[in-house]
Amino acid sequence: MLRDITLGQYFPGNSVFHRTDPRVKIVLTMLYIVAVFMADSLLSYLIMTAGTILLIAVSRIPLKTVTSGFKTILFIIIFTAVLNIFWTKGENLLFSFGIINVYAEGLIHAGKMVLRLACLLMGTSVLISYTTSPIALTDGLERLLSPLKVIKLPVHEFAMMMTIALRFIPTLIEETDKIMNAQKARGADFTEGNLLQRAKALIPILIPLFVSAFMRAGELATAMECRCYHGGEGRTRMTVLKTKPLDWILLSVFIAYGVGIILL
Amino acid sequence: MTKIELKGVSYLYGGKTPFEKKALNNINACIEEGSITGIIGHTGSGKSTLVQLLNGLLRPTEGQILLDGRDIWEKPKKMRALRFKVGLVFQYPEYQLFEETVKQDIAFGPKNMGLSSDEAERRVMDAAKFCGLGQELMGKSPFELSGGQKRRVAIAGVMAMSPEVLILDEPAAGLDPQGRSDIFGGICEYRRKTGATVIIVSHSMEDIARYCDRVLVMSKGQVWAEGSCDEIFSRADELEAIGLDIPQIARLVRLLKEKGVDLGDKLYTVGDVYRALLPYFTGGDGGAS
């Protein structure tokens, strides 16, 4: 269950998207999100879906991995669909039951919303989570936001915090697994009982987890200080990001994709 | 009598991803009732995976694990009952402590078993005694204790369930000599009083030689050898080839033998060597030379 979080789940590979500059990928992702939200006509939806499928195919991430993220947002998808089916008013009444009226428009709208959410989830996770290592991602973000330093925004510190947070997601998951197993070995049961009992069953996991997370944070801070870390001032990078022709090609493709969806 | 039997057990981590890794490959082994078995092997040889399979936290990808002749996965719903029979103490178990007092923490296992509070109390007291935890500690918060004490509380937490098989993964890792002997003393005490089968995973050849009567050597996810301490540690050169070692003192005995001082065979602990050396100092008959 903890393995379903897609954020920070880098999937190693050597596809076009793996090799793209992280800064460009962040821009691409934003373009993609805008494009998906601008889709309106049937044709634009078709382009949107085709583009997303192409994206997944090019990234060479197994389809099973891409769709595994659905479990986490399944509730939101179902909720959206139900809301749209029952609350959209239209002209073609399909059937009515008491105060519930279902219109054809509602069904179409629900279908569109579900499709949009699915594309959004798969597209962004392929572009960002699966093909970008967390380090590259925050690196790109820091460079992209660096103009904001002018207005005294601590961009480097934000990026560092994000790097650390992303870096520790797998560690915390592993730690949680370990503690869960240790408590299971003492007969703890996390799957049975009512909501209150289940919430109570989490205490033996959460307390040790918090204790070790705080300890780890303290140790990390000390270790960073020992290596003379003092924030972003005057700090240089080991790998300097440089855009390649491939990045510009991808950028133009995505702009074309976005413009296409908006115009059609 | 055989307590645990492994038949062709394999385990695969992260199936169908680029991270796929075969942790265990066709393991066959028997563990005798009432024995203390040591499992050795260098990092990544599959020891920790093996012990998690034994109490059903992991399910073998292939093969069977038999406890008292019955497959432990026969009724997956009864897995909790199995975990009370096969107690597993993880590496660095002090990280699993969470209750307000030491006593409550040790009682977590027995309470999950559904025992009456009297019975649970009795079990807690017994377990505390095995691990050398005095009455004065029982009301304290587990977070106030020293590292060695925390470790003993965690081990007592598993002993309090009175498992028939007690498995400990690196029980003494990172402790000082006093802490180590306290832990092993507790384990031996538990076995003597309950007749339980004990399995200890360790990197310390000294501890294995001193406390275990059987040794299982793991290498690259397979059982490399199985036998008595004597059978295993007499193959020193082969052990070194797979990244393991023999106890320091046994190495000394070998070096002395090369130099012409033969103290005898089967000397793997400091105590053994002490007794073998004694005649040289007391001027007796000169011992084995």
Chain B environment of A212 (Cβ under 8 Å): 95
Please report the domains of chain B, with CATH numbers, ordered by start residue.
2-246 (3.40.50.300), 247-284 (no CATH)
- C-alpha span between B120 and B136 (Å, rounded): 19
The SS3 of residue A2 is: helix
Check: CB of residue A168 under 8 Å from CB of residue A216: yes
Average pLDDT of span B253-267: 85
- What's the domain range around A154? 2-263
Q: Is the pLDDT of residue B289 over 70?
A: no
Q: What pLDDT sits at residue A1?
A: 42
Give Cα separations from A40 to A47, A76, A77 (angstroms): 11, 21, 19
Q: Nearest residue of B to residue A3 by CA position? A: B14
CA distance A122 to chain B (A): 18
- The verdict on B16 touching A (C-beta cutoff 8 Å) is yes
Q: Where are the alpha helices (DSSP H) in chain B?
A: 47-54, 79-85, 102-112, 117-130, 135-138, 147-159, 177-194, 205-211, 229-233, 236-241, 248-258, 270-282
Give me the percent of chain A exceeding a pLDDT of 90: 21
Contact B112 A186 (CB under 8 A): yes
- The verdict on A111 touching B (C-beta cutoff 8 Å) is no
Give Cα separations from B86 to A76, B66, B103, B165, B245 (angstroms): 42, 12, 22, 5, 29
Supply A156's token pair. 């480097």
Q: What pLDDT sits at residue A240?
A: 81
Residue in A133, A186, A203, A216 to test binding to B, most B beta-carbons within 10 Å: A186
Contact B52 A64 (CB under 8 A): no
Give Cα separations from A3 to A8, A65, A166, B225, B284 (angstroms): 11, 11, 14, 36, 68
Confidence class for position B90, pLDDT limits 50, 70, 90: very high
Average pLDDT of span A36-48: 88
Q: Nearest residue of B to residue A13 by CA position? A: B18
- C-alpha span between A155 and A134 (Å, rounded): 16
Q: Nearest residue of A to residue B99 by CA position? A: A204
Task: Count CB-CB contacts under 10 A for residue A260.
Answer: 15
Give me the percent of chain B exceeding a pLDDT of 90: 47
Give Cα separations from A242 to A232, A239, B17 (angstroms): 20, 9, 31
- Number of domains present in the structure of chain A: 1
Confidence class for position B266, pLDDT limits 50, 70, 90: confident
Contact A186 B90 (CB under 8 A): no
Cα angle A65, A69, A71; round to 5: 120
Q: Nearest residue of B to residue A181 by CA position? A: B57
Q: What pLDDT sits at residue A7?
A: 52
- The verdict on B163 touching A (C-beta cutoff 8 Å) is no
Give Cα separations from A257 to B57, B268, B286 (angstroms): 48, 73, 92
At position B10, the amino acid (one-letter code) is S
Higher pLDDT, B17 or A163: A163
Residue in B17, B89, B161 nearest the CB of A187: B161
Mean of all residue pLDDT scores within chain B: 88
Pairing of strands B197-201, B165-169: parallel
- The verdict on B52 touching A (C-beta cutoff 8 Å) is yes
Strands (E) located in A113-262: none
The helices-and-strands tally (H runs, E runs) of chain A is 11, 2
Under 8 Å CB-to-CB from B78, ≥6 apart: which residues? Answer: none
ipTM: 0.84
Q: What pLDDT sits at residue B15?
A: 66
Supply A171's token pair. 């560690």
CA–chain centroid gap for A168, Å, is 16
What would the pLDDT profile of B187-202 be if each residue is shown by its tens digit?
A: 999 999 999 999 999 9
Average pLDDT of span B90-101: 90
Contact A186 B161 (CB under 8 A): yes
B99 DSSP 8-state letter: S
CA distance A170 to chain B (A): 14
Question: Hey, which residues 243-282 in chain B have their CB within 8 Å of chain A?
Answer: none
Check: CB of residue B273 under 8 Å from CB of residue B249: yes
- C-alpha span between A87 and A99 (Å, rounded): 11
